[in-house]
Amino acid sequence: HVQLVESGGGSVRAGGSLRLSCVRSGDSYSSYCMGWFRQASGKVREGVATILTAGGKTWYRDSVKGRFTISKVPTNHTLYLQMDGLKPEDTAMYYCATDFPRRSPEGPRCSEEQKNGGLAYWGQGTQVTVS
């Protein structure tokens, strides 16, 4: 049973930085799609960034490109989201999620559905507040 535990949220001033962490446990697969998602109060959940753990292919939503960096450390099954240049509009509950990658002619990938939140396993979330 896959489990995800996030940490690293907090309150920062605009322009500040935070690093979120997500530890995955419960299986021994080495190739999966992992991502960060967020949901602000009164808004729908949105994908922030995803990474294919085998190969490292990443995706970012336009509003965070150049400010956020998703990365992973396979040896400790940890996913990170480095967030720099934070803006008030980044305020939200941030969630880590994962699932098996989707097959494609080009090989395993995080699909568009997965980038929009179509993953099977979710953490409890960590709050990020930017003022």
Sign of CA dihedral 54, 56, 59, 63: positive
Tens digits of residue pLDDT in 59-116: 999 999 999 999 998 776 899 999 999 999 999 999 999 999 998 898 888 999 999 9
- Rounded to whole angstroms, the Cα distance separating 55 from 86 reads 28
**Core vs surface per residue 60-81: b (16+ CB within 10 A) or e:** bbeebeeebebebeeeebbbbb
- Rounded to whole angstroms, the Cα distance separating 97 from 12 reads 24
Is residue 56 scored above 80 in pLDDT? yes
Looking at this protein, which amino acid is placed at residue 106?
A: E
